[in-house]
Amino acid sequence: MDLVQAQEHLNMSSLGRVITQVPVEDLEFIWSQVKPQIEKALDGSYSSYDILEYIKQNRMQLWISWNDGIEASFVTEVCDYPQLRVLRWVLAGGSNME
């Protein structure tokens, strides 16, 4: 499954929930809602400022799970290797997550 197919798959609705990538141009409108979720998931490798800047630079991607409000936030990064392109899961945070 390539990156476009993965995004199309994640954009499908399941049980009223929608997982979608947040466009960079919408980041300023949603950041205050996802920042607390992201900060809970940080392990010291990055700060929330680092994550925000990497998303703005298109080095990382922000995804949200939506169901009557934002339930969870996910951050991914596309990593290119000589023979392979992978989507790396950086962190996830939200309600009902430990």
Domain ranges of the chain: 3-94
**The pLDDT of residue 9:** 52
8 A C-beta contact, residue 65 and residue 56: no
Q: In what order do the strands lie in the sheet containing 70-81?
A: 13-14, 17-21, 61-66, 70-81, 84-94
* Residue 4 pLDDT exceeds 60: no
pLDDT tens digit string along 51-89?
999 999 999 999 999 888 899 999 999 999 999 999 999
**Interval 26-43 mean pLDDT:** 94
User: Is the CATH number 3.40.630 carried by domain 3-94?
Assistant: yes
* Residue 28 pLDDT exceeds 60: yes
* Total Cβ atoms within 10 A of residue 18: 13
**The pLDDT of residue 10:** 53
Q: Which residue has the higher pLDDT, 7 or 97?
A: 97
* Residue 11 pLDDT exceeds 60: no
Say whether pTM exceeds 0.85: no
